[in-house]
Homo-oligomer: A and B are copies of this chain.
Amino acid sequence: MEPLAKIELFKGLNERELVKVRELSRTVRKPKGGIFFRQEQDADAFYVLLSGRIKAVQTTAEGKEVVIRYVHPHDLFGCVTAFGNDRYPGTSEVIEDAIALCWDRKAVEKLMRDFPPVALNAMRTFGGRITELQDRNRELATERVEQRIARALTRICEQAGRKDGSDVVIDFPIRRQDLAEMTGTTLFTVSRILSDWENRGIFKSGRQKITVRKPDELAEIAESSAAQ
């Protein structure tokens, strides 16, 4: 089966159309540590991740980093701006050897013109992204650090967790620092909170992987209204 069939953006296209769409793309491989595009660079293409893992980060004028999101296989990245003739708002760092398909601007125009469902799907995808960003905004504005970390972890579990009995395993490298940059806090605070959770048996950290033993307890922390 056509690998593109699993991509939201191309839902509603038939097998033959999918093949045509793929023929408009080219394959790009980047090893761990590589970069697909940099912040501020002219957005001339968008990508679909086939395998590997990517971290989208933004750097502030003062050199602080913020993790915007993780990109998992089948996700789009670099799409927001590539459709809109702009500059990339962040940098895409490869954290696990990655293979991606890439459509340049010309291809984008052709896609939009020749395959009407694509525009609609893109809008749906964007809408989802906006809703998610608004949620994160609200969380940053109203919740305590512990809750935000719980949410971040829960979200990662949902998007990329592998179930193992009642445990959920995340087996790609997330550092304390990364969690801090996702939740707007510091490495130290994350470390303290994770230690606490480890004592309470909610959570276990191993090399380059994380196991959540009590996902529901984590979700409870995320939702708890304790944060007057």
User: How many chain A residues have a CB neighbour from B under 8 Å?
Assistant: 44
* A210 nearest CB across to chain B (Å): 21
Cβ–Cβ contact B138 & A66, under 8 A? yes
In the complex, which of the residues B64, B80, B138 contacts A131, with contact meaning CB atoms closer than 8 Å?
B80
Residue of B nearest to A118 (CB): B119
In the complex, which of the residues B61, B90, B225 contacts A61, with contact meaning CB atoms closer than 8 Å?
B225
In the complex, which of the residues B64, B113, B129, B227 contacts A130, with contact meaning CB atoms closer than 8 Å?
B129
Contacts of A126-145 to chain B: CB distance below 8 A: 126-131, 133-138, 140-142
Q: A119-B123, A120-B112 are in contact. Are A141 and B66 (CB under 8 A)?
A: yes
When chains A and B are docked, how far (Å) is the Cα of A60 from the Cα of B137? 12
Cβ–Cβ contact B184 & A142, under 8 A? yes
* A50 nearest CB across to chain B (Å): 23
Mark A residues whose CB is within 8 Å of B. 58, 60-62, 64, 66, 68, 80-81, 83-86, 89-90, 112-113, 116, 119-120, 122-124, 126-131, 133-138, 140-142, 181, 183-184, 223, 225, 227
Residue of B nearest to A56 (CB): B134
Q: A119-B119, A120-B112 are in contact. Are A80 and B140 (CB under 8 A)?
A: no
Cβ–Cβ contact B134 & A58, under 8 A? yes
Please name 27 pairs of A and B residues whose Cβ atoms are closer than 8 Å in the assembled complex, sorted by A.
A58-B138, A60-B142, A64-B142, A68-B134, A80-B127, A80-B131, A83-B120, A83-B124, A83-B127, A84-B126, A84-B127, A84-B128, A85-B124, A86-B127, A89-B131, A89-B135, A90-B134, A112-B120, A119-B120, A122-B123, A123-B123, A129-B130, A130-B133, A133-B133, A136-B137, A137-B137, A141-B183
